[in-house]
């Protein structure tokens, strides 16, 4: 496809930094936005998701938005409300006002974090499993997913919602052997999500082709995603260090891992 311009929100973050490196080779020109300056990108837009005018200016003329910006871990409800809930609403409103037709929304496994971890032999978790957020953070991703559905049904803005597992250079825990999304597969998945025709609002899980995968990748494959990596080469070392997952332990028994058992963060 011809080079297309994508607004990358959260460009200074972990995934944003990886995607700045990897997405241009798929033929995307990235316009970067973040709350903080983006290292090495002097023309990046430094703006808060609360700044509606800045968002309108940022989305003007782009072909799609890859929306990564926001708080990426549990926080106070107030902070999550502002950055993730209101921020994502502001972003979709800007897209609607400026006629942008496609958003890729970085949701998270924590939208379904209270879902029991499938025991060996059990079927993988489907995308239509009931949402069971494990944190205010996960709850904000549930809101984003419903917002995406609303903007498709009402305004014909298409979204691929990607419930990312763990997108880091390497898996660093036994849980991550199951939910790891290698950076290269992340780029392949975002490319598919940005370019597949007729997605309406499609929800996909975001992981590599892990031997120990726990969820259903068929909707991701249906939009053209072909993962090439597997966490298994990291398994021996991680298992020797930590042992197999113990599903009788509450912090390992559900998809969200320790997010399920971590105490809430209250304002002080
Ligand atoms: P990160 O925390 O490293 O990056 C998020 C970026 O968003 C930061 O650079 C931050 O400055 C920016 N940001 C935060 N609030 C903002 C605001 N109000 N206005 C503008 N920018 C703001 O997170 P990471 O790991 O790069 O994740 C990216 C996205 O993917 C997040 O939405 C996260 O929830 C989601 N995700 C990431 C996973 C992972 O494995 N890294 C797993 C599941 C979901
Ligand atoms: C997430 O949603 C977080 O943004 C990321 O930092 C990891 O904690 C990831 O989930 C995970 O579940 O490993």
Q: What are the pLDDT digits (tens) for 30-39?
A: 999 999 999 9
Residues 6+ apart with CB under 8 A from 36: 12, 46
150 in a domain, yes or no? Answer: yes
* CA-based R_g, the chain, Å: 18
Sign, Cα dihedral of 167, 140, 94, 127: positive
Say if ligand 1 is within 6 A of residue 186 CB: no
Q: Is residue 250 part of a domain?
A: yes
Residue 265 placed within a domain: no
Which residues of the chain fall short of a pLDDT of 50? none
Q: Which two three-digit tokens encode residue 35?
A: 């709350």
CATH number at residue 226: 3.40.50.720
Q: How many separate domains does the chain show? A: 1
H helices, E strands: number in the chain: 9, 7
Residue 267 falls within a domain, yes or no? no
Within a domain: 145: yes
The answer to whether residue 155 is domain-embedded is yes
Cβ–ligand 2 distance for 73 under 6 Å, the answer yes
> Which residues span the domain enclosing 248?
4-260
pLDDT tens digits, residue range 196-252? Answer: 999 999 999 999 999 999 999 999 999 999 999 999 999 999 999 999 999 999 999
Q: Which of 75, 110, 142, 262 to mutate to test the pocket of ligand 2 (most atoms within 8 A of CB)?
A: 110
* Tokens standing for residue 98: 């400026």
In a domain, 236, yes or no: yes
State the ipTM, two decimals: 0.99
User: How big is the CA angle at 182 (ends 16 and 113), to the nearest 5 degrees?
Assistant: 85
Three-state DSSP class for residue 119:
coil
Residue 167 in contact with ligand 1 by CB distance below 6 A? yes
């Amino acid at each position: 496809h011809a080079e297309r311009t994508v607004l990358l929100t959260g460009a200074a973050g972990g995934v944003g930094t990886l995607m700045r490196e990897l997405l241009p080779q798929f033929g995307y020109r990235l316009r970067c936005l973040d709350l903080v300056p983006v290292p090495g990108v002097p023309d990046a837009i430094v703006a808060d998701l609360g700044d509606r005018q800045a968002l309108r200016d940022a989305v003007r003329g782009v072909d799609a938005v890859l929306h990564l910006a926001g708080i990426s871990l549990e926080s106070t409800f107030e902070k999550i409300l502002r950055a993730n809930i209101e921020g994502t609403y502001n972003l979709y409103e800007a897209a609607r006002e400026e006629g942008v037709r496609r958003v890729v929304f970085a949701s998270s496994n924590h939208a379904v974090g209270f879902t029991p971890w499938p025991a060996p032999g059990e079927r993988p978790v489907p995308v239509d499993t009931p949402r069971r957020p494990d944190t205010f953070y996960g709850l904000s991703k549930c809101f984003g997913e419903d917002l995406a559905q609303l903007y498709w049904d009402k305004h014909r803005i298409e979204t691929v919602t990607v419930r990312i597992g763990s997108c880091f250079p390497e898996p660093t825990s036994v849980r991550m052997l199951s939910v790891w999304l290698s950076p290269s597969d992340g780029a392949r998945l975002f490319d598919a999500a940005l370019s597949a025709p007729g997605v309406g609002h499609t929800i996909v899980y975001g992981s590599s082709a892990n031997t120990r995968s726990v969820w259903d990748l068929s909707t991701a494959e249906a939009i053209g995603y072909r993962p090439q990596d597997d966490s298994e080469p990291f398994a021996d070392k991680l298992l020797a260090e930590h042992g197999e997952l113990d599903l009788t332990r509450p912090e390992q028994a559900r998809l969200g891992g320790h997010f399920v058992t971590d105490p809430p963060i209250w304002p002080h």
